[in-house]
C-alpha cells in the first residue's frame, strides 16, 4: 500500500482526508509543519498532501524545503488550500507541486491524480545524491509535437547521471535530447532521455533527464 503524508494544522481536515483516503493509502499525518521534514525523512512517503496556510512555517516554505532535500525532492506534493486564484496555483507549480486542490476538495479528482502520479515510474527517484545547482544549458532535439527545436534551459539540481531542468518547450517522456553546457564556448555534454515531466499551467515546463551514457563533460562524476 502506498503511503501518504498529510501536513495540515486543521484537525478536522486531517481527519477528513484520512477518512476518505485510508481505504487506498497508508496515512501518516502531522499538524506541526516544523516536524514535517523529519517525519518525511523517517516515514518515506510516496506523496505529500500539504496545506498552505499554517502557523510559523507556511506551505510555500515547506514545499521549497521538500524540493531542496535529496531524499524528498522527487516525492510528489499536492497542495490543499482554501485560497483560490491562478497566481497562487502558478506559484505552487513553480515550486514543484504536482497538483493544487481548493477546499472543499473534489475527492474523486484527487484520487485520480494521486493514482496517476503514483503509478508513474520514476527511475531517478532517490537513486543517487543530487546537488542543488543552477547550470545554463542548451537543449536540442524533437519536441512533443514532432518539431525540431533548440531551447535554453536551467537546471534545479544535478547528479552524476542526470538532472532536473526547466525550459519552455513541451517534451515527451522517453524522447532523447542533446544537452550542451553553456559557457564561453558551448560544448556537448551528451544525450539525455526525458524520464519525468511535471504538469505546469505556465510557460515553463519541468523535466527530469537521465543520460543514456554518462558524459565525461558533465560536472558531476560518479
Residue ranges of domains in the chain: 3-118, 131-211
**DSSP state letters, 127-139:** SS--EE---EEEE
pLDDT at 173 over 90: no
Higher-scoring residue by pLDDT: 156, 122? 156
Please name the residue that has the C-alpha cell 522527487: 74
Superfamily assignment of 3-118 in CATH?
A: Response regulator (3.40.50.2300)
pLDDT at 123 over 90: no
Residue 17: DSSP 8-state: H
Q: What does the alpha-carbon distance between residue 147 and residue 127 come to, in Å, rounded to a whole number?
A: 32
Instruction: Give me the mean pLDDT over the 186-198 stretch.
Output: 85
Fold annotation for 131-211: Thrombin, subunit H (2.40.10)
Categorize the per-residue pLDDT at 59 as very low, low, confident or very high, splitting at 50, 70 and 90: confident
pLDDT at 92 over 90: no
Instruction: Give me the mean pLDDT over the 190-195 stretch.
Output: 89
- pLDDT given at position 138: 93
Runs of H (alpha helix) within the chain: 11-21, 33-43, 59-68, 86-94, 107-118
Average pLDDT, the chain: 84
pLDDT at 29 over 90: yes
Amino acid at each position: 500500500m502506498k503511503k501518504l503524508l498529510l501536513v495540515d494544522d486543521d484537525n478536522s481536515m486531517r481527519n477528513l482526508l484520512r477518512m476518505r483516503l485510508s481505504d487506498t493509502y497508508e496515512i501518516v499525518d502531522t499538524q506541526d509543519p516544523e516536524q514535517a521534514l523529519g517525519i518525511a525523512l523517517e516515514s518515506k512517503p510516496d506523496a505529500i498532501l500539504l496545506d498552505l496556510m499554517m502557523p510559523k512555517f507556511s506551505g510555500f516554505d515547506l514545499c521549497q524545503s521538500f524540493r531542496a532535500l535529496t531524499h524528498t525532492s522527487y516525492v510528489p506534493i499536492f497542495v490543499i488550500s482554501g485560497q483560490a486564484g491562478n497566481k497562487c496555483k502558478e506559484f505552487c507549480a513553480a515550486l514543484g507541486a504536482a497538483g493544487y486542490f481548493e477546499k472543499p476538495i473534489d475527492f474523486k479528482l484527487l484520487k485520480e491524480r494521486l493514482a496517476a502520479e503514483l503509478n508513474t515510474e520514476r527511475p531517478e527517484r532517490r537513486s543517487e545524491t543530487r546537488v542543488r545547482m543552477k547550470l545554463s544549458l542548451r537543449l536540442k532535439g524533437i519536441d512533443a509535437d514532432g518539431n525540431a527545436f533548440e531551447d535554453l534551459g536551467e537546471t534545479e539540481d544535478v547528479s552524476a547521471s542526470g538532472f532536473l531542468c526547466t525550459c519552455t518547450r513541451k517534451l515527451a517522456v522517453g524522447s532523447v535530447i542533446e544537452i550542451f553546457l553553456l559557457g564561453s564556448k558551448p560544448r556537448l555534454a551528451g544525450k539525455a532521455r526525458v524520464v519525468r515531466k511535471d504538469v505546469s499551467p505556465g510557460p515553463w515546463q519541468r523535466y527530469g533527464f537521465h543520460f543514456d551514457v554518462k558524459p565525461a563533460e558533465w560536472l558531476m562524476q560518479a
